[in-house]
Structure 1
Amino acid sequence: MKRILLPAGGAILATGLLAAGLAGTAQAQSDVASDPLAKTEAQAAETLDFWSKSNYAALKKAVAFNPDALEVKKIKSGGGYSSDTKPGSSAPIGEEKKAAVKTQNVNLPKTIGKVFFEWKDGNLYWCSGTSIQSQYRNLVATAGHCVYDIAGNDEVVSKWVFVPGYYQGKAPWGLYIGKQAFTHYDLDVYEDFDRDYAFVTVYNGIGGTLNKPKQVTKAEFDAYKGEKFAKDVEVSRDEFRKGRLDPKTAEYYWRQPGVPSEVVGPDYPGAEVSKKEVTKEVYDAAKVGKGTGFKFGEPVTEQVTKTEYDAYKGLGTKSEDKRGNYFITSYYVQEWFKPGTDKKFFRTDFFIVVHEVKDVGRLGDNVGGQGVAWNQPGGKYVRTFGYPAGPHPDGNKPYTGVTPKWCYGKTNKNVLQVPSRKVEEHQSFRCAVTAGYDGGPWLYKYSNAKRLGYVTGVTSLIVDTDGNSRYDTITSPHFDGETAAIYKAAAASWSGKLIP
């Protein structure tokens, strides 16, 4: 991990007066910790390939992040929150030009989505997150534990991506790969959950068709160095013959020999019976019952013409009555056999896997960005969003994580203290959600018409405060002046694009 001291900007005069004026700023900047996620294009391409394979199969495989370390047993209330600096804010971007209306329905913000990553145990998880205001419109806010290892290994998680508007494996506004993570030094080094937040810069979104099979010739297939596969297709006998006669395609056509049937006993598993014509003498000598060589029903007599009668040379017997009618009688015995298989004809087709992807632009240009506010007092109405999916402590699982949910109400004026997580002044809020909601934004002054507000926190802990084995409260770090310094450092960081 690397602790970054950000420059104050501009020339610094060596005067005691200026040094005194910058002292507070330098202290805040020293709290900024920053770590790379996918700092090179090669690492970003590897992350994209991982999540996009097989039609985003990895995204569908991920589950809500619910580490045991977030279970909270002892909680107590503290006094009121004391701000470290004056209140401040950064306005939202992407406001929709709509008139304010009064409605009971909640318009979900376009900015929210799921954060996906691979944790140290090798499993795939997701949290919630949101796009926020930044200079390059490339910033995501989420919980710190959804970016940083909370088990003391001083590492960030792997393969971090943000998918706004995620729904059942779909990325409607593209997939955004994390480039650089920013958080407070105390979370990075000391796992202090009073600073359980992170701001992540992301590359331009990537969309289009990923991992698309393209049929090619055998020569193109052999020369291709990327992902490829061959597929055998059953064809008709006529196509097989034509393909084998063409020197350009002859080697791609092949046949599977048939297997002849085999005479077996009637008790052989899967054995079938057919009738076999024999002479009258053989039929008369055959037994009655079930078995190869046993009689197959009664003899069959068929009336025929004089011409057919004279021409018949088969195993049956011929007869003629007094009226000049002619008959042929046929005799059959049973023949039990194991069925064989017919010949099959195949053609081998060759495919390479290509990526027809495109740059879909900056995150903030596509979905907008929530504002950010710090040093806001407690007891204010907020609206929170996220994707809950995990179970309650009693095993009940009311949410699927497929669609986002929301809660609305006042934050508690008194801070919440959680000694096991080094929490001394979390803000808290009554909201009966479960794992997966963590990382989602707490939006102050949320406009239902504009779908925008100000992020004053992100869900950190999801706790049961009354001991009934049902979660009832969510908590968040207070966004204070130190948070503002970290946010501003992240908001001024450029990320760029992966596809020219």
Structure 2
Amino acid sequence: MIASVAGLSLLGSVVVAGPARAATVATVPLAPVVEQAREVARFWLADGAANLRNATPYTVLTVAAGERLSTGVVPDGPPVSISPIGPEDPPGDGAVTSGKVFFIGSDNQPHWCTGTSVQSNYRNLVATAGHCVFDVEAPMGALGKWVFVPAYSDGATPFGLYVGKQGISHYDFDDIRDFDRDYAFATVHSGVVLSAPDVLTHVGRLGDRVGGMGLAVNQPLPPVADVFGYPAGVHPDGTGPYTGGTLERSTGPTFAVRTTRPPRMDRPIGVDSPFTGDGSLGSAWVSGYDEETRAGYLTGLTIGVADTDGDERYDTGVSPYFDSALFQVYRDAANRWTGAITTMSG
């Protein structure tokens, strides 16, 4: 029987001793101080959001190589599902929980991945690929000036911009770069917009504005999953069907995969998807997506794409399997409080 939890207050915090927790959960500061968070928000929103518009897709570790398997995936614990939450004021069409995460990479340039709002106690949590929060090109620390913009489209921030406060992942990803743990959650301060030059206006908590996806852990692979992301770049054959400007959606079956070159993984999973890798890292795999509520259950996060049939076009998104280790990281992240960075409201 699936243990379904509607409110995270029933889950409580991760109750383990300090050393045990340190061996499981790794954290990095993003912008923990209010004034620092304000500076980050202004960096992205100033000059008509020029830095958002000029950011380019993140191209680090975008391509995997592997083959599809007919076997299933064996859970390592009891199945658990966390129910999604809806926004206070239902927005327009589309999966508004998804958006772009923006940051400064090791090259000191602005880049983006895909992220999605996830249910949490304080309605302040974003899920994405681990290497879209932790910088794998440097001694492992955080990527700079990290923010989330839900429903981003061609420079617009329709529900505000949310500055990251803290990044949380599994210790094995931070320490030994175990790509079975290539996932991360980021707590975000309440959202802001720039209402006048250098004037930030408060717009509320992330989950209140756009809702949050639920979470499925230790579950059988769903027959199909909807993938939401911002792919860009080209296929190996040189064709480039995506620009990364607006949110894209693909739907396909899920399956176990075997990776055949680094980054190696013990039990990755795949989804049939034509997304190219650049920009789509962190794309949400959603099972049970409801067109009316525009919510469902997060079952995977794209950490790379693969061409599994050799036709020079990407056909598979690759994700870690959501197991008990991910759930422990999630529970820790979902109970971390954040607040507003300005008292002004629109």
Structure 1: gaps spanning 5 or more residues: 1-5, 10-21, 99-105, 212-354
CA displacement at 1:30 relative to structure 2: 3.2
Q: 1:183 maps to what in 2?
A: 169
Q: 1:239 maps to what in 2?
A: none
Give the stretch that moved more between structures: 143-152 or 153-162.
Answer: 143-152
Amino acid at match of 2:213: Q
- CA separation of 1:96/1:356 partners in 2, compared to 1, >3 Å: closer, same or farther? closer
1:35 equivalent in alignment to 2:28: yes
2:266 to 414, 424, 449: 424
Amino acid at match of 1:168: D
1:448 to 291, 298, 308: 291
Q: 2:73 maps to what in 1?
A: 81
Identity across aligned pairs (percent)?
42
Amino acid at match of 2:125: L
Q: Secondary structure at the match of 2:139?
A: coil
Q: 1:194 maps to what in 2?
A: 180
Q: Secondary structure at the match of 2:266?
A: strand
CA displacement at 1:411 relative to structure 2: 0.6
1:44 equivalent in alignment to 2:37: yes
CA distance in 1: counterparts of 2:234 and 2:190, whole angstroms: 34
CA displacement at 1:42 relative to structure 2: 2.6
CA displacement at 1:80 relative to structure 2: 2.8
Is 2:114–2:282's contact at 8 Å kept on the other side of the alignment? yes
Q: Secondary structure at the match of 1:467?
A: coil
Is 1:418–1:424's contact at 8 Å kept on the other side of the alignment? no
CA distance in 2: counterparts of 1:38 and 1:372, whole angstroms: 26
Q: Secondary structure at the match of 2:142?
A: coil
Q: 2:115 maps to what in 1?
A: 129
Is 1:31–1:186's contact at 8 Å kept on the other side of the alignment? yes
Q: 2:85 maps to what in 1?
A: 93
1:397 equivalent in alignment to 2:237: no
CA displacement at 1:366 relative to structure 2: 0.5
CA distance in 2: counterparts of 1:207 and 1:70, whole angstroms: 31
Q: C-alpha offsets along residues 4-50 of structure 1, whole Å, 9 cap, x if unaligned?
A: xx9854xxxxxxxxxxxx79x99677311111111112321221121
CA distance in 1: counterparts of 2:194 and 2:110, whole angstroms: 23
After TM superposition, list the pairs within 5 Å mapping 1:298-317 onto structure 2. Answer: none
1:154 to 120, 124, 140: 140
1:459 equivalent in alignment to 2:302: yes
Q: Secondary structure at the match of 2:134?
A: coil
Is 1:415–1:424's contact at 8 Å kept on the other side of the alignment? no
CA displacement at 1:193 relative to structure 2: 1.4
CA distance in 2: counterparts of 1:96 and 1:443, whole angstroms: 21
TM-score w.r.t. the length of structure 1 is: 0.62
Amino acid at match of 2:81: S
Q: 2:125 maps to what in 1?
A: 139
CA distance in 1: counterparts of 2:222 and 2:204, whole angstroms: 38
Is 2:68–2:308's contact at 8 Å kept on the other side of the alignment? no
After TM superposition, list the pairs within 5 Å mapping 1:32-431 onto structure 2. Answer: 32-67=25-60, 69-73=61-65, 75=67, 77=69, 79-94=71-86, 108-151=94-137, 153-211=139-197, 355-412=198-255, 414-431=256-273
Q: C-alpha offsets along residues 63-112 of structure 1, whole Å, 9 cap, x if unaligned?
A: 11112x433345574843111110101111116899xxxxxxx9521111
Q: Secondary structure at the match of 1:128?
A: strand
CA distance in 2: counterparts of 1:402 and 1:63, whole angstroms: 10
Amino acid at match of 1:421: P
CA distance in 2: counterparts of 1:402 and 1:162, whole angstroms: 15
CA distance in 1: counterparts of 2:45 and 2:109, whole angstroms: 16
CA distance in 1: counterparts of 2:57 and 2:242, whole angstroms: 11
Cα RMSD of the aligned pairs, angstroms, is 2.5
CA displacement at 1:210 relative to structure 2: 4.2
Is 1:148–1:155's contact at 8 Å kept on the other side of the alignment? yes
CA distance in 2: counterparts of 1:383 and 1:40, whole angstroms: 36
Moved over 4 A (4+): 6-9, 25-29, 73-79, 95-98
CA distance in 2: counterparts of 1:441 and 1:73, whole angstroms: 20
For this pair of structures, how many residues does the alignment match?
330
Q: Secondary structure at the match of 2:262?
A: helix
Is 1:63–1:126's contact at 8 Å kept on the other side of the alignment? yes
CA distance in 2: counterparts of 1:95 and 1:171, whole angstroms: 16
Q: Secondary structure at the match of 1:384?
A: strand
Q: Secondary structure at the match of 1:83?
A: coil
CA distance in 2: counterparts of 1:167 and 1:94, whole angstroms: 21
